Structure 1
Amino acid sequence: MTAPALAPALCLLNPHAANGRCAALAEPLRAALSQVPLVLPDNVAAARQRLLALPEGSRVLVAGGDGTVHQLLPALVERRLQLALLPSGTGNDLARALGLARLSWREALAHARGAPASPMDLGELTTPGAAPRLFMSSLTAGFDAAIALRAHAAPKWLRGQPRYLWATLVEIGRLRVQRLRVEADGALLHDGPLLFASSLNTPTYGSGMPAAPGARVDDGELQLLRAGAFGRLGALAMMPLLLTGLHLRHPKVALSGFRALHLGSAQPIPLAVDGEPLPSAADVTVRLRPAALQVVRLPS
């Protein structure tokens, strides 16, 4: 069910997004938002506290990227806030899924002021000893999570997809294939070696790679992307296919929808949510949180 357009109650700007380039939007946004408070929080906790103090159901402008939104998800969901994204990050896979990635910040702002909000699904990750963690784009498990970790250490001048490609080339030299038991919605899908087994809510991850082209953020399911026991040369050859969306033709690659997923391994596997690295874990549970967040998007 769509929710009516509301006047924004607050604009949060992450000055660290896009390697600090988002900070340049502060003054132009302040001029454009004469009646809306612009906040540049010192840290994640401060940003969440500002959101938690808003009336339930308020509309919030967020200037940043996937990592910014990911950190705000608990507060957005708890207060049932409407998210109006001004895409200003490095990856911007959520912005792509919402149809906003090609808009300038001024165009996104104009749209955010007049468009209704509609529900979006989220994913929830649970590992032993850790609190459940929401994600809106992807949970990567295995090789592609190792790439996300490596991308955080990439040279600052690398932006967007080249950052992930650099990380991929580095990680191929350290390639590890692990044995995984994969159960989805109570059915055993796989028990054996896998390069990765990742859950997607958006069609793209890794700054625009079309990993799950048919994924939709409001279709009531997540997508599981599995890649088999590739060696270094095979993984390297897979990259052009993944970049063009042709990877699903490969017999070692499978994509399937699910609502509940369990991954088990004898050894901890690398994990990342929405491109943010997490501690490795050997026991991973993922479940769908349907219609958990209200978002402003462009019509598809």
Structure 2
Amino acid sequence: MYCFVINKTSGNGRSVKIWSEIEQILKEKNVSYTSLITNSKQEVIDHFQALKSSPDKVEGVIALGGDGTIHEIINQLFGTTVPFTVIPTGSGNDFARARGITDNYKQEVERILGKSHQKIDLLKIGNRHCMTVVGIGFDGKVAKEANELKWKKWFGGLAYFFIIFKVLLSYKPTSTKLLLNGDERVYEKVWLIAIANHPYYGGGLKICPEAISNDGKIDICIIHTLPKWRLLFILAAVFKGKHVKMKGVEYLQVESIEVETAEPLYVTADGEMVGQTPTSVTVSKDAFHVIS
């Protein structure tokens, strides 16, 4: 049995339309499945609690939605061996982008039914897990603004472009102390810290281009000690991952990071708000199964 979770608001309702077509394919192939159409986190939690107690074997969990949908599902699936994938219908779709998953749902259904699986790492932040990127500082503020923006679903990644400029007008960098594998470093005027398991966030920003989800490492991009006008050039280069060797950018790989800031900063995981600094992130090696 396959479990499909459809975010009914994702893609301005597009996910529900796609699901109706996928459902027809499953019926034609006599595939056993269950489905949940919702935009409620609690309904997702309840659904997975029921699945865990079900006698039926779950062959895979498939989300029709974006990275926010993914974030909630992986935290319910963590600790099981049930493989996961997504058919992207969200505004960002950064997990799908990193995994080479297309919006050709007919092709993706065939891949899902092929039952090829692999283990990947997850990021652990507090009592939550993250699939893609933990963002702290400027990017955390941008993600918060994006989540509150009602028209984001119509403009996708372009919405983040406008939000970046809005946040930039008022944002002020701050002093930050990091413990990287236990070694202390202090950075002044930090704009953002991106802690990555996959390369992309923010609807296609290649913030950590060397991030690999099964290497047991956390990729970290720190942007600091720059004037605002210079930050704009850095952010423009991020789209193609060409920023990592630019002045004011430090790129590292570690197994753990602790972050303390002079004032509390927003922290996001998979684009979802998860708290404020201080915070810590570690890597959970081979902790999650995905359909490959």
Normalising by structure 2, report the TM-score: 0.91
1:271 aligns with 2:267: yes
1:179 aligns with 2:172: no
Structure 1 gaps, min length 5: 1-7, 127-131
Does the 8 Å contact 1:172/1:235 carry over to 2? no
Q: Which residue of 2 aligns with 1:9?
A: 2
Please state whether the residue corresponding to 1:123 is helix, strand or coil: strand
Q: Percent identity?
A: 21
Per the TM alignment, residue 159 of structure 1 is displaced from its structure 2 partner at its CA by 2.5
Per the TM alignment, residue 294 of structure 1 is displaced from its structure 2 partner at its CA by 0.3
Q: Which residue of 2 aligns with 1:118?
A: 118
Does the 8 Å contact 1:44/1:72 carry over to 2? no
Q: Which residue of 2 aligns with 1:5?
A: none
| Structure 1 segment 112-191 matched on structure 2, within 5 A | 112-126=112-126, 132-154=127-149, 155-156=151-152, 158-191=154-187
Q: Which residue of 1 aligns with 2:205?
A: 209
Does the 8 Å contact 1:63/1:87 carry over to 2? yes
Q: Which residue of 2 aligns with 1:26?
A: 19
Q: Which residue of 1 aligns with 2:221?
A: 225
Post-superposition CA distance 1:78-106 (Å, at most 9, x none): 33321032122111111122211x34111
Structure 2 gaps, min length 5: none
Q: Which residue of 1 aligns with 2:104?
A: 104
Does the 8 Å contact 1:19/1:156 carry over to 2? no
Does the 8 Å contact 1:97/1:217 carry over to 2? no
Q: Separation in 2 of the partners of 1:295 and 1:134?
A: 15
Q: Separation in 2 of the partners of 1:166 and 1:32?
A: 39
Q: Separation in 2 of the partners of 1:265 and 1:10?
A: 41
Does the 8 Å contact 2:196/2:211 carry over to 1? yes
How many residues align structurally? 283
CA 1:50–1:79: 2 relative to 1, 3 Å: farther
Post-superposition CA distance 1:116-141 (Å, at most 9, x none): 11001100112xxxxx1111001100
Q: Structure 1: which 4+ aligned runs deviate by more than 4 Å?
A: none
Q: Separation in 2 of the partners of 1:225 and 1:92?
A: 20
Q: Which residue of 2 aligns with 1:242?
A: 238
Tell me the C-alpha RMSD between the 2 structures: 1.8
Post-superposition CA distance 1:39-93 (Å, at most 9, x none): 2135222222322333576411221111101011222113332103212211111
Q: Separation in 2 of the partners of 1:42 and 1:198?
A: 27
Q: Which residue of 2 aligns with 1:285?
A: 280
CA 1:89–1:233: 2 relative to 1, 3 Å: same
Greater Cα offset, 140-149 or 59-68: 59-68
